[in-house]
Structure 1
Amino acid sequence: MQSNKRRLIVLLLSLSLALLILAGCSTGGGAPKDAAVEIKIGVVATLSGGGADYGVSIKQGLETAQDKINAAGGINGRKISLIIEDSHGDKDEAIKAVQKLINEDRVLAIIGPTNSGEMFAAGPVADKAGVVIMGTSNTAKGIGEIGPYVFRNSLPEDSVIPVTVRKAKEKLGFTRVALLYSANNDWAVSSAKTFEKALQEQGVAIVETQTFTDGDTNFQAQLTRVAAAKPEALAVSALYKESALLLIQARRQGLNLPVMGGNGFNDPELMRIAGEAAEGALVGSPWFAGKADPAVQAFVAEYQKRYNTAPNQFAAQAYDALGIMAEALKAEGAAGDRAKFRDALAAIKDYQGVTGKFSFDQNGNPLMDAMVLQVVNGAYREVK
């Protein structure tokens, strides 16, 4: 009997030792050190529902970058594995997805969510857990300031819209503008406030302001009030679907005015839905698919080959986001420790991506330049 007890004790001690050894193979809240293990990066994107085209573009941009990085040997021989979750554009779903990726999948870091409102909800969850979360399409003010583990490589609207307004005014000479925006979308509200400030600084009067909500399809009442105010141009902050329908209805009501858009205009779906109604629309962006740069054209060609369409801004920013993370992963210990990865990411300077030269400021926000694009014959063209 004593012999059996001793054997049982030895067995239990052996099992405990084995578990301790396995536990010792990971640090930084579950990020594995084993060089044979893939580096897991979580992704939260709007892949269904309103605004799904943004999320699908982000997913495709990430997968294009993932294949390029892995084909080149990955990170010191370790491949990057993307674990993708659909948030459906919902804040609560984004929080659930982030929690799953952190606690169940034990990812090293997270890319996404798609919308700024989702990031304001889910970003604090990742930050509290000490897991890097990096937005590729969040443009509202205050994203990087959520916490030290929250980053983005998408230019905030307060860095883009002033450039759009200044160039648009120089080109078109307007002094009276009507502002229309989605009032239940955090990003659109932030964008509208930025438009207000930028227009004021350029000496342009806002003669009418009208709001609507995501999912609206009829803008006749708002446009009737806008027409009565006799503006010389329109400023619109909404997702591509609502923006496209608004443009169609504005043209039908005879409001054939110059239009400036926020980040929602940075998607070819705007032109596909609106058709000729989108002609002449202006939008600021760090991305231009027609840029005469070998890296840009190589990415455009690869993306076109894979998906039979040109990459939009959201695909390009996602592509660069994984490239930026891959660069940070090269730092000693960064691939196996969440805190070390965070510090390596924050230290990124002058990364040359397809959207331009990129660095982070002290709050994890991007430092890079924007250009202004105009829809001409159904395609974006740079405004010089």
Structure 2
Amino acid sequence: MKKNTLSLLFSLSLIFFFLSLAWGAEPFKVGLIASLTGKTSYAGTHMKIGAEIAVSEINARGGINGHPIELFIENDDSQGSKSPAAAYKLIYQDKVLLIVGPTTSDGNFSVQKITDEAKIVQLATSGSSPRLTALKQKWFFRLALSTDYQMKTMIDYLIKKLGMKRIALMVQQSEMAKGAELAVLSELKKNGLSPVIQEKFQATDSDFSAQLIRIKNATPQALALLGDSPKCAQVAQQARSLGLMAQFFGGTTLGAGDFIQLGGKAVEGTIVSVGFYEDDPDPDVQALNRKVRERSKEKAAYHTSAQTYDAFYILEKYLKNTKLSYNYNDPQSLARDREVIWSALTKVKNYEGVSGTISFGPEATPEDRDGIKETILLQVNNGALVKIWPLKRK
């Protein structure tokens, strides 16, 4: 396997070398940190798919200001503890101009300090914890929907549309889930409510019966499933087997195909908050679905492939006519190039991407660093996700 991987990397290097000669221009180096294996590999693989589609298209039409994009991909195995090593390699060995990723909120947190100290843009196309933009780091931009926005829409819908006020939480001990938990609690408080019960579980747990029995006895109308999609599917199955019939709801992770596949009938009716909807009739969304099918085994795009795809097209548009040195061996020149990229991203305003309307700004605040703010609610119906709010696209 290692020999095959090295052979593939060598072949790709040769191909890019000859392409670079043909172009006669230094490459625009981009690093991608994604979870290609492990528990969040579905989201990470879609990041890679979205990046590769965009890079091939942009390079086919001339690259970024005549410079072909060269993509350096690192796999953190769905472990935030492995993301820093990937970031150090991309920044100091490969000398990329910016980093896209990682996939998880934990991974993004572990890389933020590194990118901030190195003064290089970190463009997160996955990772929903509100704390990622609350830390006010200059070099961090997020092109993924924060759970603050997700849960505001969700809680409003549960309370005002469905009349549900008795809400319980089942929370995995991860950065992403903790962020979602805080968002739910905040929205409940704004409505004069508090949860009827809160329970926690670990990523390594397989038996949730003790927590679920306590939740059942609290008689909630709705239960937040906050965690990785495979674990939440297990929780849902065990909850239903115990006779817990509360309305399930959660964030973007429950929109992953494996949640519905693994959860089966137990997850029917679950309400999910997302920023991207693969069945949106928008021609650009359907075009991306076709491209994903052509390039991979996946049936359609996912929010991480759409957001990563948008990230590269934002770079192409907002770096147009900017001047970079592409002198990767001179630290001062490289630092100036990275600053130019940061400045370009702060000027993104109302960019209409496949994943929604995207805007950034110069201030290191959630308002200027959370590029996507619009939320869509979907519901699992006969093994598929169906849009329930808003009924019409804004």
Q: Using structure 2 for the length normalisation, give the TM-score.
A: 0.85
Structure 2 Cα separation of the partners of residues 290 and 380 of structure 1? 8
Give the deviation of 1:271 after TM superposition: 0.4
**Matched residue, 1:4:** none
Structure 2 Cα separation of the partners of residues 216 and 359 of structure 1? 39
* Paired residues of 1:119 and 1:143 also in contact (CA < 8 A): yes
What do the CA deviations read for 1:290-331 (whole angstroms, capped 9, x no partner)?
212111111111112222411111221111122222223324
**Matched residue, 2:163:** 173
Aligned pairs (5 A) from 1:1-384? 36-144=25-133, 145-183=135-173, 185-308=174-297, 309-334=299-324, 336=326, 337-361=337-361, 362-363=363-364, 364-383=369-388, 384=391
* Paired residues of 2:251 and 2:274 also in contact (CA < 8 A): no
Q: Which runs of 5+ in 1 are unaligned?
A: 1-33
Greater CA deviation, 323-332 or 267-276? 323-332
Greater CA deviation, 359-368 or 317-326? 359-368
Q: Using structure 1 for the length normalisation, give the TM-score.
A: 0.87
Structure 2 Cα separation of the partners of residues 334 and 93 of structure 1? 31
Report the residue type matching 1:167 in the other structure: Y
Greater CA deviation, 322-331 or 63-72? 322-331
* Paired residues of 2:356 and 2:372 also in contact (CA < 8 A): no
What do the CA deviations read for 1:36-67 (whole angstroms, capped 9, x no partner)?
12211001111112222111111111111112
What do the CA deviations read for 1:173-230 (whole angstroms, capped 9, x no partner)?
21101111012x1111111011111123234441111000113222111101101111
* Paired residues of 1:178 and 1:206 also in contact (CA < 8 A): yes
Return closer, same or farther for 1:182/1:93 CA change in 2, 3 Å cut-off.
same
Give the deviation of 1:126 after TM superposition: 1.0
* Paired residues of 1:372 and 1:382 also in contact (CA < 8 A): yes
Greater CA deviation, 297-306 or 196-205? 196-205
* Paired residues of 2:78 and 2:103 also in contact (CA < 8 A): yes
Give the deviation of 1:233 after TM superposition: 1.0
Superposition RMSD in Å: 1.7
Greater CA deviation, 100-109 or 329-338? 329-338
Percentage of identical aligned residues = 32
Return closer, same or farther for 1:305/1:69 CA change in 2, 3 Å cut-off.
same
Structure 2 Cα separation of the partners of residues 268 and 246 of structure 1? 16
Greater CA deviation, 247-256 or 323-332? 323-332
Look up the SS of the partner of 1:317 in the other structure.
Answer: helix
* Paired residues of 1:179 and 1:235 also in contact (CA < 8 A): yes
* Paired residues of 1:214 and 1:242 also in contact (CA < 8 A): yes
Q: Which runs of 5+ in 2 are unaligned?
A: 1-22, 327-336
Return closer, same or farther for 1:323/1:215 CA change in 2, 3 Å cut-off.
farther
Structure 2 Cα separation of the partners of residues 131 and 93 of structure 1? 19
Structure 2 Cα separation of the partners of residues 283 and 56 of structure 1? 21
Give the deviation of 1:111 after TM superposition: 0.4
* Paired residues of 1:188 and 1:238 also in contact (CA < 8 A): yes
Report the residue type matching 2:375 in the other structure: A
Structure 1 Cα separation of the partners of residues 214 and 325 of structure 2? 56
Report the residue type matching 1:40 in the other structure: K
* Paired residues of 2:356 and 2:374 also in contact (CA < 8 A): yes
Give the deviation of 1:92 after TM superposition: 2.9
